[in-house]
């Protein structure tokens, strides 16, 4: 394995961490359910980037790619089901605000 | 390397724009933009097949899913949107500062990871890895897809019951 590839690992990791921080902040600070899902997506993007960089650095590009493809399939299924749940919540409470959701739960 | 850093900065800026923007629709489009920049990085890191998947699924399908969800839920009026935006801005203006601080601190640390690298892989082709070396990934994908299909079916079933 060449040293050059190893040297790019830390700069890429910094950006992975920054992307992950954006995702976590978005999920924590928003009250909208769709925005929370978008935050989750950002975190998944950070992990995808980390996997690709790790594969490139270690020389296991094919293995990293197969992992990323699996991750993308899982991501799509998770988002589809989550979007269905969000639509169900909207049809019941007529709102996407998590604060309203908590109020309705306490009432119910 | 400088080009890589430039593309990575673009990635973070796209993610920040997606988070800070006022309308939900623009956020969904911002997600497609983030995926697009990530695709370029994947191509540059010699992972073309994963990049194609990312481009077609994450930059194509998922934003469409989000946009259709946004159109199915009620749209806010302009006044409500402005009020929401002001409230959101109060919560979110820390974020760019936080991201820049995290980036600066991490780049000042200058950690040199001492990684013991594994042996070079025997299979260089993704198809070979997926079909011959790790077929369990494919089985897992099929199970996850089936679980998702069942999940969606159950969600629709519930909504039909509620109508009656």
Q: Looking at the complex, report in whole angstroms how far the Cα of residue A47 sits from the nearest Cα belonging to chain B.
A: 11
State residue B158's pLDDT score.
Answer: 60
- A3-107 in CATH: which number? 1.10.287.3510
Give Cβ neighbours of residue B96 (< 8 Å, ≥ 6 apart): B16, B20
Is B27 in CB contact (< 8 Å) with chain A? yes
Domains in chain A: boundaries: 3-107
Residue pLDDT, tens place only, B58-99: 999 999 999 999 988 866 667 777 777 778 788 888 888 888
**Inside any domain, residue B157:** yes
Is B13 in CB contact (< 8 Å) with chain A? no
Q: Which residue segment(s) compose the domain that B159 sits in?
A: 126-164
Q: Which of B16, B27, B42, B50 to mutate to test the interface with A (most CBs of A within 10 A)?
A: B50
Residue pLDDT, tens place only, A59-76: 888 889 999 999 999 999
pLDDT at A104 over 70: no
Number of domains within chain B: 1
Is A61 in CB contact (< 8 Å) with chain B? yes
Chain B residue nearest residue A63, CA to CA? B129
State residue B55's pLDDT score.
Answer: 93
Report the C-alpha gap between B120 and A5 in whole angstroms: 13
Neighbours of B112 (CB within 10 A): 10
With an 8 Å Cβ cutoff, are B41 and A61 in contact? no
**Interface confidence (ipTM) of the complex:** 0.89
Residue pLDDT, tens place only, A48-62: 999 999 988 888 888
Range with the lowest mean pLDDT among A73-87, B15-29, B112-126, B133-147? B112-126
Whether residue B54 contacts residue B35, with contact meaning beta carbons closer than 8 Å, is answered with yes
**Inside any domain, residue B27:** no
Query: Given pLDDT bands bounded at 50, 70 and 90, which one contains residue B52?
Result: very high
Residues of chain B with Cβ-Cβ distance to A2 below 8 Å are none
Identify which of A17, A32, A62 has the shortest CB distance to residue B126.
A62
Residues of chain B with Cβ-Cβ distance to A81 below 8 Å are 148, 151-152, 155
Residue pLDDT, tens place only, B126-144: 888 888 888 888 888 899 9
Q: Which residues of B73-95 are buried (b: 16+ CB within 10 A; e: fewer)?
A: beeeeeeeeeebbeebeeebeeb
- Residue, of A5 and B130, whose pLDDT is higher: B130
Give, in order, the Cα–Cα distances in Å from B130 to each of B42, B43, B66, B139.
19, 19, 30, 10
């Amino acid at each position: 394995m060449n040293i050059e590839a190893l040297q790019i690992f830390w700069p890429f990791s910094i950006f992975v961490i920054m992307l992950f921080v954006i995702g976590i902040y978005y999920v924590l600070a928003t009250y909208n359910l769709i925005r929370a899902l978008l935050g989750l997506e950002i975190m998944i993007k950070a992990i995808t980037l980390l996997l690709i960089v790790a594969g490139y650095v270690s020389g296991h590009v094919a293995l990293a790619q197969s992992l990323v493809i699996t991750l993308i399939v899982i991501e799509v299924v998770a988002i589809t089901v989550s979007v269905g749940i969000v639509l169900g919540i909207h049809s019941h409470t007529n709102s996407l605000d998590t604060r309203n959701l908590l109020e309705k739960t306490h009432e119910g | 390397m400088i080009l890589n850093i430039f593309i990575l900065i673009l990635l973070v800026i796209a993610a920040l724009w997606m988070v800070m923007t006022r309308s939900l629709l623009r956020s969904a489009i911002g997600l497609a933009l983030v995926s697009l920049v990530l695709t370029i990085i994947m191509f540059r890191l010699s992972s073309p097949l994963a990049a194609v998947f990312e481009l077609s699924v994450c930059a194509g399908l998922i934003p469409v899913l989000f946009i259709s969800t946004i159109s199915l839920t009620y749209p806010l009026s302009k006044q409500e949107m402005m009020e929401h935006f002001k409230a959101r801005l109060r919560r979110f203006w820390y974020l760019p500062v936080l991201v820049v601080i995290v980036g600066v601190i991490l780049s000042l640390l200058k950690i040199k990871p001492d990684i013991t690298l594994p042996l070079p892989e025997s299979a260089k082709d993704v198809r070979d890895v997926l079909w011959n070396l790790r077929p369990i990934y494919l089985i897992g994908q099929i199970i996850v897809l089936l679980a998702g299909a069942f999940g969606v079916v159950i969600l629709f079933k519930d909504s039909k019951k509620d109508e009656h």
